[in-house]
């Protein structure tokens, strides 16, 4: 069985490697990630992971794993910022507050689909102007939902989480391993 990773994220590749899983091929899908009008963060995230998995053509014996990570401040989706100003707005909005990070995972083989999502509560410390501007200067906010990655320099801004650390990074490992096993992909194929 060949595993196709429907994501170009190096963080997701690294997380899979933690459980000994290496994708046979990387095929990031090209889909429209615009939220529907009035769409709430969790249903949006689940829809994105599912649409990504369904957008990737599979050959016989292939299984695809796709995921989506969404940062939510209440009912508001904080996506990947378009520029430094938007990144600053997102970070100021989360400064000193709790927000949610939702990561949905979808695994598909043929016409069968397995899906799970994990919601993690995250607290961001109150950011000073110096911290905010210093972080923005790193460029680490680029391409990251909510303008930050907990595994990078912004980790210094996160004193507390409740839930899955790996889900905040981009892939909830426990749930992902369970989905792959449910789909028949051998995770623990070591010698007995």
Residues annotated as catalytic are: 68
Beta bridge partners of 62: 2
List all residues 6 or more positions away from 191 whose beta carbon is below 8 Å from its beta carbon.
none
Q: How far is CA 175 from CA 58, 68, 181, in A?
A: 22, 14, 10
Report the Cα 150 to chain-centroid distance in Å: 11
Alpha helices in 56-172 (DSSP H): 84-94, 129-138, 165-169
């Amino acid at each position: 069985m060949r595993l196709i990773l429907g994501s170009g994220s190096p963080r997701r590749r690294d997380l899979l490697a933690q459980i000994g899983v290496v994708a046979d091929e990387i095929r990031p899908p090209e889909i429209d990630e615009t939220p529907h009008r009035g769409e709430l963060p969790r249903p949006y995230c689940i829809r994105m992971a599912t649409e990504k998995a369904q957008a990737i053509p599979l050959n016989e014996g292939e299984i695809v794993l796709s995921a989506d990570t969404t940062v939510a401040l209440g009912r508001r989706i904080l996506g990947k910022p378009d520029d430094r100003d938007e990144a600053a707005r997102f970070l100021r909005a989360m400064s000193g507050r709790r927000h949610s990070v939702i990561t949905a995972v979808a695994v598909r083989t043929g016409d069968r689909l397995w899906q799970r999502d994990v919601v993690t509560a995250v607290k961001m410390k109150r950011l000073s102007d110096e911290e905010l501007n210093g972080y923005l200067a790193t460029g680490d906010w680029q391409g990251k939902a909510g303008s930050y990655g907990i595994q990078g320099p912004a980790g210094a801004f996160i004193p507390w989480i409740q839930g899955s650390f790996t889900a905040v990074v981009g892939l909830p490992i426990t749930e992902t391993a369970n989905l792959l096993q449910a789909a028949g992909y051998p995770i623990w194929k070591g010698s007995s």
